[in-house]
């Protein structure tokens, strides 16, 4: 049995790895992910560079000068505290103490004529109402939202100066407070934001690979069924050997792509220097490296078995598309549940979804990856893996019976009673 299974798995693997589609998708998927995530940020940072010519209009010159000082403060000193969107944006600021309506109209006209990029209208009336106006052509520019924090800091400084505080006292009062999140055992994420996106990225890789290659198993079965190749193969191999061989062969293709992406990411991270490795330190742990392949393989075998059964039941691609949604529903439900778990990984929903076999591959891995306090009991992880193994075995027996009869059935789409007969008599 093992010899035939290995030969079928080897054939499925080599047949797909040698195709142009494999090479193209191996490089295209990372490029698409880069284009959807990193590239927009890089473009936004590049477009936000240069300088902007602003006018600060205030009733008294001291207020206007305080706002100018905060706008022109070096980025390394003020970017974090002021929420500046881009460290490369520089401000050329003029002061104006004429706050009449005619002067505002003149400044508005200059903005329309592109002689100015913006006007900060900070009159005594505006300050009393706690509502300063920023006039600009680019009202939807996200980079300008940082100006609100900059102006707010300047107004706070103005109020403290009028209370008689010194510059050193003001700097101490306005210095942002850092907060470290730790568990009762004193442990915590090195960088919670980096940890979140790293875990989310690994879960999405697992989700997409399981989904795409599970569908590939279904299509491989359907193609061979419609071409009658299976009738020849059944003379030398059993239906069970064929199903397991296809699952292992296509699964190895998915693992090959994940290995290529992982090694490429490691090389690029090393090329970018110590910054990337320092950010990921403490995030990609031995625990993640151990459980990622475990739940990836369990999830892939689980769903591929069901996809193989669908491929054996149907007679066309159209029929397969109608039924494959039933298999994909638990995966989609897992992603929906993940949104809640990423916010609060200790809810009862997270616990039960991580034990339920159809959602466990994604949900339990997410809980393990986000667990910084070792709060997940070992029995829950063991129970999750145990139930997955039992479910996989049961589905292999069940779907194997459907597969055994379905690959030789042609013509009309089988009904549910007919499928039950296949299971009972196979």
**How does residue 384 score in pLDDT terms, banded at 50, 70 and 90?**
very high
Residue 394 confidence (pLDDT): 86
Q: How far is CA 271 from CA 23, 33, 161, 341, 348, in A?
A: 23, 19, 48, 34, 42
Residue 172 confidence (pLDDT): 80
Which structure tokens are listed for 379?
């029995």
Instruction: Confirm if 205 and 261 have CB atoms less than 8 A apart.
Output: yes
Please calculate the CA angle 244-248-254 and round it to the nearest 5 degrees. 145
CB atoms within 10 A of CB 114: 9
Average pLDDT, the chain: 76
Topology given in CATH for the domain delimited by 49-174: D-Maltodextrin-Binding Protein; domain 2 (3.40.190)
CB atoms within 10 A of CB 369: 23
Domain boundaries along the sequence of the chain: 49-174, 190-425
Residue 410 confidence (pLDDT): 65
**How does residue 387 score in pLDDT terms, banded at 50, 70 and 90?**
very high
pLDDT in tens, 226-285: 776 776 777 777 777 777 888 888 878 877 877 787 777 666 555 444 444 444 444 556
Give the residue ranges of DSSP H helices in 113-186. Answer: 124-128, 146-162, 167-174
Residue 337 confidence (pLDDT): 85
**How does residue 85 score in pLDDT terms, banded at 50, 70 and 90?**
very low
Q: Mean pLDDT check: name the lowest of 228-237, 311-320, 373-382.
A: 228-237
Contacts of 162 (CB under 8 A, 6+ apart): none
Which structure tokens are listed for 426?
């196979």
| pLDDT above 90: residue 385 | yes
Q: Tell how far CA 243 is from the center of its chain.
A: 32
Residue 272 confidence (pLDDT): 47
Mean pLDDT of 142-151: 74
| pLDDT above 70: residue 41 | no
Mean pLDDT of 195-203: 69
pLDDT in tens, 99-139: 888 999 999 999 888 888 889 998 888 888 888 888 888 77
CA–CA dist 50, 301 (Å, integer) = 53
Q: What is the DSSP-derived secondary structure letter of residue 19?
A: S
Instruction: Confirm if 254 and 213 have CB atoms less than 8 A apart.
Output: yes
Cut 0.85: pTM above it: no
Residue 386 confidence (pLDDT): 93
Instruction: Confirm if 350 and 340 have CB atoms less than 8 A apart.
Output: yes
| pLDDT above 60: residue 57 | yes
How far is the first Cα of the chain from the last one, in angstroms, to the nearest whole number?
19
């Amino acid at each position: 049995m093992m010899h035939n299974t290995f030969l079928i798995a080897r054939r499925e693997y080599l047949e797909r790895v040698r195709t142009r589609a494999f090479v193209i998708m191996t490089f295209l998927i990372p490029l698409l992910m880069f284009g959807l995530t990193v590239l927009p940020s890089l473009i936004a940072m590049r477009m936000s560079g240069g300088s902007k010519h602003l006018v600060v209009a205030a009733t008294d010159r001291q207020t206007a000068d305080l706002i100018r000082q905060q706008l022109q403060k070096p980025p390394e000193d003020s970017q974090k505290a002021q929420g500046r969107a881009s460290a490369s944006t520089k401000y050329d600021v003029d002061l104006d103490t004429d706050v009449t309506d005619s002067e505002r109209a003149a400044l508005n006209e200059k903005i329309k004529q592109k002689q100015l990029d913006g006007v900060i209208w900070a009159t005594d009336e505006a300050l009393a109402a706690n509502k300063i106006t920023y006039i600009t052509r680019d009202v939807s520019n996200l980079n300008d939202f940082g100006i609100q924090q900059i102006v707010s800091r300047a107004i706070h400084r103005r109020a403290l100066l009028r209370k008689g505080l010194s510059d050193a006292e003001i700097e101490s009062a306005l210095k942002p407070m850092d907060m470290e999140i730790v568990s009762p055992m004193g442990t915590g994420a090195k960088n919670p934001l980096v940890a979140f996106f790293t875990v989310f990225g690994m879960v999405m890789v697992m989700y997409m690979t399981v989904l795409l290659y599970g569908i590939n198993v279904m299509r491989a079965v359907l193609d061979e069924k419609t071409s009658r190749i299976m009738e020849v193969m059944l003379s030398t191999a059993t239906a069970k050997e064929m199903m397991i061989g296809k699952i292992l062969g296509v699964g190895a293709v998915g693992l090959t792509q994940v290995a290529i992406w992982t090694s490429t990411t490691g090389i690029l991270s090393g090329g970018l220097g110590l910054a990337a490795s320092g950010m990921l330190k403490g995030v990609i742990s031995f625990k993640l490296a151990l459980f990622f392949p475990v739940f990836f393989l369990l999830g892939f075998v689980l769903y591929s078995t069901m996809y193989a059964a669908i491929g054996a039941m149907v007679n066309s691609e159209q029929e397969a598309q109608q039924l494959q949604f039933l298999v994909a529903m638990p995966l989609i439900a897992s992603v929906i549940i993940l949104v809640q778990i990423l916010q609060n990984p200790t809810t009862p929903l997270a616990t039960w979804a991580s034990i339920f076999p159809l959602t466990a591959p994604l949900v339990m891995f997410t809980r393990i990856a986000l667990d910084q306090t070792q709060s997940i009991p070992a029995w829950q992880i063991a129970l999750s893996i145990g139930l997955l193994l039992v479910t996989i075995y049961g589905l292999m027996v069940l779907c194997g019976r459907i597969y055994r009869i379905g690959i030789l059935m042609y013509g009309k789409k089988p009904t549910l009673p007919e499928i039950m007969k296949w299971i009972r008599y196979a």
